[in-house]
Amino acid sequence: MPNINRNSYKEYTKEHIENAIFFDLEQNSDQNSELPHMLPEKKIWEKIVSSMGISNKDKIVIYDNSDVISSCRCWYTFIYFGHNPKLVHVLDGGLKKWKLEKKPLTNSIPIPSRTNYNAKEKNALVKDKEQINQNIIKKKFIVVDARSRGRFDGKDPEPRKNVRSGSIPNSFCIPFGEVINQNHTFKNRSKILLKFNNIFGSKLPQEVVFSCGSGITAAVLALAYSLINNKYDPTIYDGSWAEYGKI
């Protein structure tokens, strides 16, 4: 996030779960976009995943040490590029919970053997600004924003330069922190269900698109929603407020 002075790779080299491979969320996004954290091109993604030694049939467990639970964005990206959703998991609680439970860590860096990963984009799982604008009138899907209520309501400033305060018309707000416990685990399903029932009522819709500041915490809500709606395919407005609120 902006203004957070952390070197994630340096943190990884000091301590990580044995055999864990480092995934750089910044570098593995679209480097040609002015917007942060946008999905990379298919061929670039194939190179990234191949260099990590991951094959199409591998089970993947993703964790992070981030207050914004960035592992969920990686989870979403693998699913968007066609990895079997049943094989992609997020370690509940991430490194924070792992360390609290005094589980083993290492500073040994694994060297993966290169693979030949083949991606297949699921274009329905991402929305662009034009689709978001069309939906304000057509109302084919519901947009839920993961930012804080202060930012959503336009009362608090945005952390990025040249981005105004406010929210997408007709969208709803569930701050991502409201589905997460203090130890970075997801809240139980009944509490998550209650959050979404407050917006949707008792019937959970399939056509839900999540947004946030730059597409990271939107994925937290997408994963939370999939925990209570196992037929839901995670769908995100990739540009999020960094694009929609741009001055």
pLDDT tens digits for range 121-143: 999 999 999 999 999 999 999 99
Q: Are residues 111 and 35 in the same domain?
A: yes
DSSP, collapsed to helix, strand or coil, labels residue 81 as coil
The amino acid present at 100, given as its one-letter code, is: L
Q: Mean pLDDT across the chain, nearest whole number?
A: 96
Same domain, 129 and 237: yes
- Give the domain-ending residue among 73, 94, 122: 122
Average pLDDT over residues 100-129: 98
**Residue 183: both structure tokens together:** 């130890």
Predicted local confidence at residue 5, as pLDDT: 82
- Residue 185: predicted pLDDT: 98
pLDDT of residue 98: 98
Q: What is the pLDDT of residues 20-47, one digit of tens each?
A: 999 999 999 999 999 999 999 999 999 9
Same domain for 140 and 116 = no
State the pTM of this model. Answer: 0.96
The domain of 41 spans: 8-122
The number of CA neighbours under 13 Å toward the Cβ of 10 is 3
pLDDT in tens, 176-214: 999 999 999 999 999 999 999 999 999 999 999 999 999
Q: What pLDDT, on a 0 to 100 scale, did the predictor assign at position 50?
A: 98
What is the phi/psi pair of residue 57, to 5°? -100, 10
Q: What is the pLDDT of residue 1?
A: 65
Question: Based on the domain organization, do 155 and 108 belong to the same domain?
Answer: no
Per-residue confidence (pLDDT) for residue 198, from 0 to 100: 97
State the maximum Cα–Cα separation within the chain, in Å, rounded to a whole number.
54
**Which DSSP state fits 60?**
E
| Residue 155 pLDDT | 97
| Residue 173 is among the residues annotated as catalytic for this protein | no
The rounded distance, in Å, linking the Cα atoms of 212 and 173 is 9
Domain harbouring 64, CATH code: 3.40.250.10
Q: How many domains, in total, are found in the chain? A: 2
Sign (positive or negative) of CA dihedral 237, 191, 179, 225: negative
Q: What percent of the chain has pLDDT over 70?
A: 99
Q: Check pLDDT > 90 for residue 240.
A: yes
User: Are residues 105 and 136 both part of a single domain?
Assistant: no
Closest alpha carbon to 218 in 174, 184, 183: 174
Among 122, 144, 169, residue at a domain's last position: 122
**Domain termination residue (choose one: 72, 102, 122):** 122
Residue 42: its pLDDT value, please?
A: 98
> What is the average pLDDT across 160-172?
96
Please check whether residue 42 lies inside any domain of the structure: yes
**Catalytic-labelled residue, pool 72, 74, 173, 212:** 212
- Whether residue 2 lies inside any domain: the answer is no
CA–CA distance, 68 with 66 (Å, rounded to integer): 5
Distance, CA of 180 to CA of 108 (rounded, Å) = 30
At residue 131, the 3 state secondary structure works out as helix
Residue 186: count other Cβ atoms within 10 Å of its Cβ.
19
Categorize the per-residue pLDDT at 2 as very low, low, confident or very high, splitting at 50, 70 and 90.
low
Give the separation between CA 187 and CA 178, rounded to whole angstroms: 8
Q: Region 72-90: what's the mean pLDDT?
A: 98
Residues 100 and 132 occupy one common structural domain: no
Which tokens go with 71?
A: 């592992």
Q: Is residue 91 scored above 80 in pLDDT?
A: yes
Neighbours of 65 (CB within 10 A): 18
The CA distances from residue 50 to 2, 54, 148, in Å, are 29, 6, 36
How far is residue 104's CA from residue 117's CA, in Å, rounded to a whole number?
Answer: 30
